[in-house]
Amino acid sequence: MKIDPGLKQVTLPATVENRPAQPQANKQADTGQTAVTLSPRAAELKQLETQLAAIPVVDRARVDSIKEAIASGQYTINAENIAEGLIDSVKEMLHVAK
């Protein structure tokens, strides 16, 4: 078995041709300002995006209550549900891999 030494060094050409940029036809004068109008649907989506960003990803109250239940020994684990979830996720991975 031959071991690949990794990446091979690439040599660049000795000269690089620099061409000036081509002026674009139909180029409008740049005033520094651009007017943008959104469709009603796009404005609604933007508003929904803002609302979703404000929702916390983690429910801190639920996390704190679970931590408290674990600390007090009141949190019960259902091994059957965990096993079923693991089997379902493996089945899904196997199905996706096909």
pLDDT tens for the chain, 98 residues long, are 455 556 566 666 665 555 555 555 555 556 678 888 889 999 899 999 999 988 888 889 999 999 999 999 999 889 999 999 999 999 999 987 76
Residue entry with tokens 């379902």? 88
DSSP secondary structure string for all residues of 19-80: -PPPPPTTPPP--S-------HHHHHHHHHHHHHHHS-SS-HHHHHHHHHHHHHT-----HH
Say if pTM beats, i.e. exceeds, 0.75.
no
Q: What is the pLDDT of residue 23?
A: 57
Place of tokens 């300002």: 33
Amino acid at 12: L
